[in-house]
Structure 1
Amino acid sequence: MKKFAFFSFLVLFFFSCKEKTINLGEKVSFSIEKDISYGESSEQKMDLYIPQNKDSIRGIFVMIHGGGWKGGDKSNLTLFTLSMMERFPDYAFANINYRLASNNSFILPSQTDDLDSALDLLVIKSVEIKSKPQFILLGNSAGGHLSMLYGYNRMFDSKHRKNVKAIVNIAGPADLSDPDFKNYSDYDFVEKHMIDLSKPTPIDITNQDIPNPIFWINETSPPTISFFGNNDQIIPISQKTILDSVLYKNKVYNQSFEFSGGHLDWNNEKNSPIIIKRINEFLKDIK
């Protein structure tokens, strides 16, 4: 029965996408715009889901995929985004791609610049759809790191940081200098390709501190909810302890939870509904 229900859901989803609408239940429907360009690169694309009841859109979730900063795609978060839309029918959702790092390119500042550019477009869209220009940055893995870095980092010229209402970090690293994180199999790539050193950086801040979200946390940082796997071999559970400690020290409202399993198990049938429920409760607390 479960398989049949899931198949029916997919049929409805793909049929509705053809029609440019998604129906997720009684009185819950969204219009969809696929692959909107927010820059000149073919990677700078987003899918935008807008509630068809536009009278009371409370803000925009910005979904930021993982993939080790050099892989992944917004399609990895499509089904989770749909599940979120069922619970949050009064929010718009932007599921974004960004320029990926490679052996010949860097993570920063390209990827935080892309967030800025995507939010530029979403500010314009928020006027069109009569939404508040408030953003909830939700990222998993590398996307979680980027959501925190954008929301916390006061060095980058982030035009929309003040409009970030909350951050949802799912298994993203908050401290890249954590010795446990250095066991990550691709750590060598991350270390060599995190920052483009040809770009100017402040002389009083080390290149090790710049990409570390916890370095930038202060009392003005956005409320943050985080989720970490208790058997994650990529993002160690020590990251939870580190992030919690710095947020509490700076009196930033925060919650954090462990889920059962490894790095990708947050999005399975057991954990995903619990995570969405926790996000919903968290956002009610910070109204």
Structure 2
Amino acid sequence: MKALKNNFINLFILLVFISCSSNSTDDSNGDPLASYEAFNISYGNDSDQVFDLYLPEERTFNTKTLILVHGGGWTSGDKTDMNAFKDYIKNELHEYAIVNMNYRLADENNPPYPMQINDITSVVNFLNDNSNNYVISNDIGFIGVSAGGHLSLLWSYAFDNDNQTEMVCSIVGPTNFTDPAYLNNTNPLLQEIIDTFGIDTETAFLEEISPYHRATASAPPTILFYGGEDPLIPTTQGTAMRDKLLELNVTHEFTLYPTEGHGWVGFNLLDTSIKLKTFIETHM
């Protein structure tokens, strides 16, 4: 299970070779319009409640922020898993600010919901409170992988009370815990995903934690990527979310790579990067 969970970690590792080298980020002069980086900024009392911040040079109060949310089955993973995404954005979408966040990891005494959703809210509130200091706008977008894709969708659909999210990307993220592919499964790997959220398997709770059931017509533009042979995320997690967004008339794109699993490289990776870049530029 752990190896499968970690497959996504190297999902975008080739992106650093696709893009050009980044400029240095020397902020020694303190110029607010110079590029700036800060690491392990605390947004809470827990050691996992930290994020890395990357501010582009020549930014203004119209500069928007992309928030990266790592995967790991809600119980593992780290913001460093998203470094390839961070590098790609810095090189190819260099006008955007980047937040690469950690969140509190779930264990038997601390279920992921609502703890991890609350952590995203805390990060967004922190950015809002410091937008003048950072010289950024309050407009945000999300890129999440695996469990991070689920959290990104769920927060954007159900917890963005101020409608700040301009786009959200889920790569192999679960979307619907009432999917028969989960509820009627005989696969211990899939069952472990359900069990992560505790013993409450009532339909109302499963719907509450499912982006599929929380999406509305006001959901932000959404781009989805899934693998047809993913052992952890049934194909229906992607296709059902696509169909729901179509029904709600929400702007979206959906890509299924039929022969891929819980992550991919090569031409499909290049395809993902190009589509994601275009989607961000179009909607943010």
TM score, norm. by length of structure 2? 0.81
Count the aligned residue pairs.
259
What residue is the counterpart of 1:165 in the other structure?
Answer: 166
Amino acid at match of 1:283: I
- Structure 1: runs of 5+ lacking an equivalent: 22-28, 198-202
- Structure 2: runs of 5+ lacking an equivalent: 1-13, 29-33
What residue is the counterpart of 2:8 in the other structure?
Answer: none
Distance in 2 (CA, whole Å) between partners of 1:273 and 1:71 is 27
What residue is the counterpart of 1:118 in the other structure?
Answer: 123
1:143, CA displacement in angstroms?
0.3
Task: Say which of 43, 47, 53 aligns to 2:52.
Answer: 47
Query: How do 1:19-168 residues align onto structure 2 when only pairs under 5 Å count?
Result: 30-55=35-60, 58-153=63-158, 158=159, 160-168=161-169
1:185, CA displacement in angstroms?
3.9
**Aligned residues of 1:170 and 1:227 also touching (Cα < 8 A):** yes
Amino acid at match of 1:232: D
Using CA pairs below 8 Å that are at least 6 residues apart, which structure has the higher relative contact order? 2
**Aligned residues of 1:151 and 1:161 also touching (Cα < 8 A):** no
Distance in 1 (CA, whole Å) between partners of 2:107 and 2:135 is 38
1:179, CA displacement in angstroms?
2.5
Indicate the RMSD between aligned Cα atoms, in angstroms: 2.8
1:271, CA displacement in angstroms?
3.5
**Aligned residues of 1:169 and 1:227 also touching (Cα < 8 A):** yes
Task: Classify 1:20/1:128 alpha carbon distance in 2 versus 1 (closer, same or farther; 3 Å).
Answer: closer
Q: 1:68-125: CA deviations, max 9, x gaps?
A: 0101100001122111221111110000000111122101110000000011111133
Correspondence 1:273 to 2:270: yes
Query: How do 1:210-225 residues align onto structure 2 when only pairs under 5 Å count?
Result: 210-225=208-223
SS at match of 1:227: strand
Amino acid at match of 2:250: V
SS at match of 2:109: coil
1:60, CA displacement in angstroms?
0.4
What residue is the counterpart of 1:24 in the other structure?
Answer: none
Amino acid at match of 1:272: L
1:129, CA displacement in angstroms?
2.8
Distance in 1 (CA, whole Å) between partners of 2:38 and 2:199 is 33
**Aligned residues of 1:20 and 1:33 also touching (Cα < 8 A):** no
What residue is the counterpart of 2:260 in the other structure?
Answer: 261
Identity percentage over the alignment? 27
Amino acid at match of 2:238: K
What residue is the counterpart of 2:180 in the other structure?
Answer: 179
1:178, CA displacement in angstroms?
1.6
Q: 1:219-259: CA deviations, max 9, x gaps?
A: 11111001111321111222221011100111111111123
**Aligned residues of 2:212 and 2:244 also touching (Cα < 8 A):** yes
TM score, norm. by length of structure 1? 0.81
**Aligned residues of 1:60 and 1:91 also touching (Cα < 8 A):** yes
Q: 1:18-44: CA deviations, max 9, x gaps?
A: x679xxxxxxx8421111100000000
